[in-house]
């Protein structure tokens, strides 16, 4: 059997008891550090009547107040900074689709630890200094590009800092420079696969072996579709700007959940309504506490991502706890005619029924009634086959039936000609909810 490869073997395969002790030790220090250096969080703790001295072990974390995205907006830009600006070397920012942007600060040490997390992900996907890593996440304020870029440097791989966009050139470089690992959002990976075929090539014409895809939710069905079109093994990677960026957790060869880098982040799952901490194995909102950040440490930050945590022996040898693919953010969930609907459920049905991953969900309210439309693009092949209106209608009906079975409500399905839905180069916009405009 080939030797397993890790970027930091000792930490990644550390016995669970030892990791827990390490977490506790770092946590107690981080609480005191935040209390002493951050007025905003000190006030939250004071309001709750809890002092650093009250926090004596890891379990005492439940005494601490939560932080939410709203707190981060309120404290914008410097309110949660724990170091003077002169000690910081970089900022990043969330995409800020709703409301004010959130800005996170990094010291050089913060950047180094984050890069190591991404390096662990690259090595877990089979990367080494022999690999050529094409980073097609956006560069700039977004953490995707910078994170994988720095991680690839740590591994010693040849890094192609492509950023997203210009897809033909992307593929040309991939081919000419023999890129072996592609890093981008899954929706962009799907588009690159499509474009490759449009350019008259197949997976055999390129040298990719793996992809590291994240920053947005994607389904198992999407994974299979990308793996086929690019001829690779596709790995998930998760992260958020507030906590550092991509690489908070990453998938290994088992492709069944992402190992959380527990030496840097402590994860809890809570009931999003009551804030109560749930036992391992329950689905709930993921909450992170950073354990050794300097510039922008966050205690009990509510991510709004819905996950399940499980600690189990993994075939890869890593001991860190795993989180399942987030089902979507709690705020991605739509309530349509009183029923909870996640875009990921729709994606699953579409791909299972042989449709393309090019779709858009539109919700509106007319009078008191929610309207619910799903646009799905046909592939060239499907389009050719469905020449007759009857064929189209038959396909539409059968797809509607499959949706009703999954969702419990009936969407209006629209099958559109090829290339009629805008492709994503970053995070795909899957939902247009016009009801929000009326509020
Ligand atoms: P924004 O919150 O503005 O999108 P970020 O770029 O920091 O800013 O995005 C972080 C969020 O992206 C996470 O909280 C999560 O909802 C989503 N995300 C990141 N990676 C994944 C992934 N692998 N699967 C599903 N969702 C992900
Ligand atoms: Zn594993």
**pLDDT tens-digit series, residues 355-382:** 999 999 999 999 989 999 999 999 999 9
Reply yes or no on whether the pLDDT at 98 is more than 70. Answer: no
pLDDT digits over 391-429, tens only?
999 999 999 999 999 999 999 999 999 999 999 999 999
Q: What is the pLDDT of residue 438?
A: 63
pLDDT band at 101 (very low <50, low <70, confident <90, very high): confident
- Segments of 80-131 assigned E as strands: 90-93, 103-106
- Return phi, psi of residue 275, to 5°: 80, 0
- The conformation of residue 203, written as its DSSP 8-state character, comes to G
- The conformation of residue 254, written as its DSSP 8-state character, comes to T
Q: What is the pLDDT of residue 128?
A: 98
Q: How many CA atoms lie within 13 A of 213 on its CB side?
A: 32
Bin 118: left if φ > 0, else alpha if -120 < ψ < 50, else beta.
alpha
Among 93-102, 158-167, 226-235, 331-340, which stretch is predicted with the lowest mean pLDDT? 93-102
Contact between 378 and 416 (Cβ < 8 Å): yes
Q: What is the pLDDT of residue 328?
A: 73
| 236 Cα nearest atom in ligand 1 | 23
- Rounded to the nearest angstrom, the distance between the alpha carbon of 36 and the centre of ligand 2 is 37
Give yes or no for residue 95 CB within 6 A of ligand 1: yes
- Rounded to the nearest angstrom, the distance between the alpha carbon of 3 and the centre of ligand 2 is 14
- Return phi, psi of residue 61, to 5°: -55, -30
| 144 Cα nearest atom in ligand 1 | 6
Spatial separation of the C-alpha atoms in residues 379 and 423, rounded to whole Å: 14
pLDDT digits over 8-34, tens only?
999 999 999 999 999 999 999 999 999
Contact between 253 and 228 (Cβ < 8 Å): no
| 245 Cα nearest atom in ligand 1 | 7
- The conformation of residue 409, written as its DSSP 8-state character, comes to S
| 69 Cα nearest atom in ligand 1 | 2
Reply yes or no on whether the pLDDT at 439 is more than 60. Answer: no
Contact between 298 and 80 (Cβ < 8 Å): yes
Q: What is the DSSP string of 45-74?
A: HHHHT--GGG--SGGGGGGSPPB-HHHHHH
Q: Which of 67, 68, 244, 305 to mutate to test the pocket of ligand 1 (most atoms within 8 A of CB)?
A: 305
Bin 361: left if φ > 0, else alpha if -120 < ψ < 50, else beta.
beta
Spatial separation of the C-alpha atoms in residues 79 and 42, rounded to whole Å: 11
| Tokens representing residue 243 in the block | 């906590």
Give me the count of residues in the chain.
439
pTM of the model as a whole: 0.95
pLDDT-above-90 percentage for the chain: 93
Reply yes or no on whether the pLDDT at 77 is more than 80. Answer: yes
Give yes or no for residue 305 CB within 6 A of ligand 1: yes
Q: Please report, for residues 37, 190, 325, 357, 413, the alpha-carbon distance to residue 231 in angstroms, rounded to integers and kept in the order given.
A: 49, 12, 22, 17, 31
Looking at all shown ligands, the one closest to residue 344's CA atom is: 1
pLDDT digits over 391-401, tens only?
999 999 999 99
Reply yes or no on whether the pLDDT at 350 is more than 60. Answer: yes
Contact between 161 and 145 (Cβ < 8 Å): yes
Spatial separation of the C-alpha atoms in residues 135 and 196, rounded to whole Å: 17
Looking at all shown ligands, the one closest to residue 219's CA atom is: 1
- Return phi, psi of residue 246, to 5°: -60, 150
Q: What is the pLDDT of residue 42?
A: 98
Reply yes or no on whether the pLDDT at 49 is more than 60. Answer: yes
Give yes or no for residue 285 CB within 6 A of ligand 1: no
Give yes or no for residue 216 CB within 6 A of ligand 1: yes
Spatial separation of the C-alpha atoms in residues 372 and 234, rounded to whole Å: 32
Give yes or no for residue 215 CB within 6 A of ligand 1: yes
Reply yes or no on whether the pLDDT at 2 is more than 70. Answer: no
- Rounded to the nearest angstrom, the distance between the alpha carbon of 254 and the centre of ligand 2 is 6
Q: What rounded mean pLDDT belongs to the chain?
A: 95
pLDDT band at 96 (very low <50, low <70, confident <90, very high): low
Residue nearest to atom 11 of ligand 1 (CA): 240
Contact between 287 and 274 (Cβ < 8 Å): no
**Which of 82, 45, 79 minimizes the C-alpha distance to 64?**
45
Q: Please report, for residues 52, 61, 68, 357, the alpha-carbon distance to residue 287 in angstroms, rounded to integers and kept in the order given.
A: 20, 11, 10, 30
**Which of 123, 351, 353, 327 minimizes the C-alpha distance to 224?**
351
Beta partners for 270? 277, 285
Token look-up 């405009």 returns 437
Reply yes or no on whether the pLDDT at 1 is more than 60. Answer: no
| Tokens representing residue 130 in the block | 């022999």
**Which of 285, 237, 287 minimizes the C-alpha distance to 265?**
287
pLDDT digits over 115-154, tens only?
999 999 999 999 999 999 999 999 999 999 999 999 999 9
pLDDT digits over 292-341, tens only?
999 999 999 999 999 999 999 999 999 999 999 998 777 778 999 999 99
Q: Which of 137, 217, 240 to mutate to test the pocket of ligand 1 (most atoms within 8 A of CB)?
A: 240
Give yes or no for residue 330 CB within 6 A of ligand 1: no
| 102 Cα nearest atom in ligand 1 | 3
| Tokens representing residue 58 in the block | 């890891």
């Amino acid at each position: 059997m080939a030797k397993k490869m890790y970027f930091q073997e000792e930490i990644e395969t550390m016995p669970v008891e030892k990791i827990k002790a390490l977490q506790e030790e770092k946590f107690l220090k981080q609480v005191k550090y935040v209390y002493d250096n951050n007025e905003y969080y000190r006030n939250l703790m004071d309001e709750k009547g809890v002092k650093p001295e009250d926090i004596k072990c890891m379990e005492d974390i439940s005494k601490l107040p939560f932080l939410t995205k709203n707190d981060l907006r309120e404290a914008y830009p410097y309110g949660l900074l724990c170091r003077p600006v002169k000690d910081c070397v970089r900022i990043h920012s969330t995409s800020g689709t709703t409301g004010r942007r959130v800005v996170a600060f990094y010291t050089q040490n913060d950047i180094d630890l984050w890069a190591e997390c991404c390096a662990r992900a690259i090595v877990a996907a089979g990367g080494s200094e022999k690999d050529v890593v094409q980073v097609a996440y956006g560069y700039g304020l977004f953490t995707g590009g910078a994170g994988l870029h720095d991680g690839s440097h740590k591994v010693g791989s040849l890094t192609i800092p492509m950023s997203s966009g210009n897809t033909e050139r992307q593929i040309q470089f991939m081919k000419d420079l023999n890129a072996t690992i592609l890093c981008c959002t899954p929706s962009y990976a799907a588009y690159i696969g499509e474009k490759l075929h449009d350019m008259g090539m197949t997976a055999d014409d390129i040298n990719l072996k793996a992809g590291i895809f994240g920053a947005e939710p994607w389904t198992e069905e999407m994974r299979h579709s990308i793996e086929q079109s690019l001829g690779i093994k596709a790995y998930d990677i998760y992260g958020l700007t507030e906590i550092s960026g991509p690489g908070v957790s990453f998938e290994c060869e088992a492709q069944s959940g992402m190992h959380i880098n527990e030496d840097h982040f402590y994860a809890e799952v809570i009931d999003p309504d009551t804030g109560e901490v749930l036992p391992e194995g329950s689905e709930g909102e993921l909450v992170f506490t950073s354990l050794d950040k300097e510039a922008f440490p966050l205690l009990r930050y509510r991510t709004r991502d819905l996950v399940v945590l499980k600690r189990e022996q993994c075939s890869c040898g890593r001991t860190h706890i795993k989180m399942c693919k987030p089902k979507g953010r709690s705020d991605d969930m739509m309530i349509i005619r009183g029923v909870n609907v996640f875009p990921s459920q729709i994606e699953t049905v579409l791909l299972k029924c042989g449709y393309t991953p090019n779709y858009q969900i539109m919700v509106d309210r007319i009078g008191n009634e929610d309207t619910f439309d799903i646009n799905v693009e046909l592939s060239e092949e499907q389009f050719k086959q469905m020449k007759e209106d009857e064929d189209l209608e038959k396909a539409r009906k059968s797809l509607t039936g499959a949706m009703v079975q999954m969702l419990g409500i009936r969407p209006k399905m629209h099958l559109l000609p090829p290339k009629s839905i805008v492709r994503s180069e970053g995070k795909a916009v899957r939902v247009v909810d016009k009801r929000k405009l009326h509020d």
